Amino acid sequence: MTALSHDVLIVGGGLAGLRAAVGLCDTYDVALISKVHPIRSHSIAAQGGINAALANNPGGKDDTWEKHAFDTIKGSDYLADQDAVEAMCREAPGIVYEMEHWGCPFSRFPDGSIAQRPFGGAGYPRTCYSTDLTGHVLLNTLYERAVMKGVRVYPEWYVTGLAIDDGVCHGVAAFDLMNGEVVPIAAKATVFATGGYGRVYFYSTNALINTGSGIGIAYKAGVPLKDMEFVQFHPTGLIGTNILMTEACRGEGGYLVNSRGERFMERYAPRAMELAPRDIVSRSIQTEINEGRGFDHPLGTYIKLDLTHLGEQKILAKLPGIRKICIDFIGIDPIREPIPIMPCQHYSMGGIDTNARTETGVPGFFAAGECACVSVHGGNRLGGNSLLETIVFGKTAAGAVDEYLSRRPGAAREEVVLTAARKTEEKMTALVAGGREKTFSLHGELARTMSMNVGIFRERAEMEKALEDIGRIRERYRNVGVSSPARHMNYELMNAIELEFMIEVAHTITHGALLREESRGAHWRRDFPKRDDEKWLRHTIARMSGDGTCGISFRGVTITRYQPMERVY
The pLDDT of residue 445: 98
434 pLDDT tier (thresholds 50, 70, 90): confident
The share of the chain scoring above pLDDT 90, in percent, equals 96
Among 539, 540, 499, 554, CA closest to 216: 499
Would you say residue 410 has pLDDT above 90? no
264 pLDDT tier (thresholds 50, 70, 90): very high
Helix (H) or strand (E) holding 219: helix 213-220
The pLDDT of residue 408: 83
Q: List, in order of start, the domains of the chain with CATH numbers.
A: 238-345 (3.90.700.10), 416-530 (1.20.58.100)
Would you say residue 218 has pLDDT above 80? yes
As beta bridge partners, residue 96 has: none
The pLDDT of residue 308: 98
Cα–Cα distance, 336 to 212 (Å, whole number):
38
Cα–Cα distance, 535 to 528 (Å, whole number):
12
120 and 272 Cβ atoms separated by less than 8 Å:
yes
Would you say residue 2 has pLDDT above 90? no
Would you say residue 433 has pLDDT above 90? no
Q: Which are the catalytic amino acids?
A: 234, 250
Q: Which of 85-89, 91-95, 213-217, 482-486 has the lowest mean pLDDT?
A: 482-486
Would you say residue 325 has pLDDT above 80? yes
Would you say residue 409 has pLDDT above 80? no
Q: Which amino acid is located at 538 in the chain?
A: R
66 pLDDT tier (thresholds 50, 70, 90): very high
What is the chain's Cα-based Rg?
22
115 pLDDT tier (thresholds 50, 70, 90): very high
Helix (H) or strand (E) holding 496: helix 491-515
1 pLDDT tier (thresholds 50, 70, 90): confident
First and final CA of the chain: distance in angstroms?
59
215 pLDDT tier (thresholds 50, 70, 90): very high
The pLDDT of residue 363: 97
Q: Tens of pLDDT along 468-492?
A: 999 999 999 999 999 999 999 999 9
411 pLDDT tier (thresholds 50, 70, 90): confident
The pLDDT of residue 481: 95
Cα–Cα distance, 519 to 229 (Å, whole number):
11
* Phi, then psi, of 287 in degrees rounded to 5: -65, -45
Cα–Cα distance, 360 to 431 (Å, whole number):
31
481 and 433 Cβ atoms separated by less than 8 Å:
yes
Cα–Cα distance, 542 to 380 (Å, whole number):
19
The pLDDT of residue 453: 98
